[in-house]
Every structure is written in structure tokens, then in C-alpha cells.
Amino acid sequence: MKKNIHVVGAVITDGEKILCAQRGTEKALPKLWEFPGGKIEENESPQEALRREIKEEIHCEIEIGKQVEHTVYEYDFGIVHLTTFYCKLLEGTPVLTEHMAIEWLKPNELEQVEWAPADIPAIEKIARTFVAQR
């Protein structure tokens, strides 16, 4: 049976822009785009996991807001349960550690990069939400 992998992702916004990250070539899902974040460890809440991962990965402190989306996607290596949250930066400037690129994209640019499949529902929702706010 495939393993269940519980993952959190931060949709960090600054005005109209959204922080997006490209996975490295050595990893599963090479070069695909995702939201910074990672696996929830035992005894951690999703928010605690997200705060820890963001500190480790991009060296920033965040404020975590509303949930964007929850998606379950079956990859060949396991079943990813991805929960994304809108976040704001409280402290720090994002730096590259694990990713091959990080970029602030506008809502209409989100669909121009190739996302990890589990992220597609969140991307569609974010794009719709930003258009509706205009």
C-alpha cells in the first residue's frame, strides 16, 4: 500500500504577488513548482509544521491565515495530502536553500509555470480569488 504523506504549503502573498518555489533536479517531482513548506511531523499541528518548514527553507517568519485548499493526490511514490494556507511575511527576506528558484509571481503568471499536480486546485482557486478581488 502507498504511504500517506501529510504536507503543508505556504501561499505567501505580498500585495498581488505570490511566492512560488521550483523543486530541485535531485528530488521527486524535479523542476516542478510548489509552495514552500513540507511534511508535517508527528505531534505537530499543520500551522506548527508550516512555521518550522518556512524558517528552515527560506529563513523567514510568517503569519498564517486562512486555509486555501486541501488536496489529496496519488503520486507513484505515495499519496500526498496537501493543505495550503495564505500567509504573510513577518520577518526576513526569502532566501534559496533547497529550491532551485524562488519567484514572486502575479496571479495571471501562476499558470505559466509547471506546478506539482497536487497544487493545481489551489492554483486555480488563488487565480479566481485574486481576479474576484479586483
Q: Name the maximum alpha-carbon separation found in the chain.
A: 45
Give residues 68-87 in contact with ligand 8DG (rule: CB under 6 A).
80, 82
Nearest approach, Cβ of residue 80 and ligand 8DG (Å) = 5
Nearest approach, Cβ of residue 112 and ligand 8DG (Å) = 17
Distance CA(100)–CA(97), nearest Å, equals 8
Q: Which residues contact 91 (CB under 8 A, 6 or more apart)?
A: 60, 61
> Cell for 69?
485548499
Does residue 18 belong to the site contacting ligand 8DG (CB under 6 A)? Answer: no
Do the beta carbons of residue 101 and residue 33 sit within 8 Å?
no
Measured CA distances, 26 to 23, 39, 101, 106 (Å): 9, 18, 14, 27
Residue closer to ligand 8DG by CB (options 18, 118) is: 118
Does residue 28 belong to the site contacting ligand 8DG (CB under 6 A)? Answer: yes
Only one of the segments 32-40, 41-49, 61-69, 105-113 lies at the binding site for ligand 8DG (rule: CB under 6 A); that segment is: 32-40
Q: Which residues of the chain form contacts with ligand 8DG (CB under 6 A)?
A: 5, 7, 9, 27-29, 34-35, 37-39, 80, 82, 116, 118-119
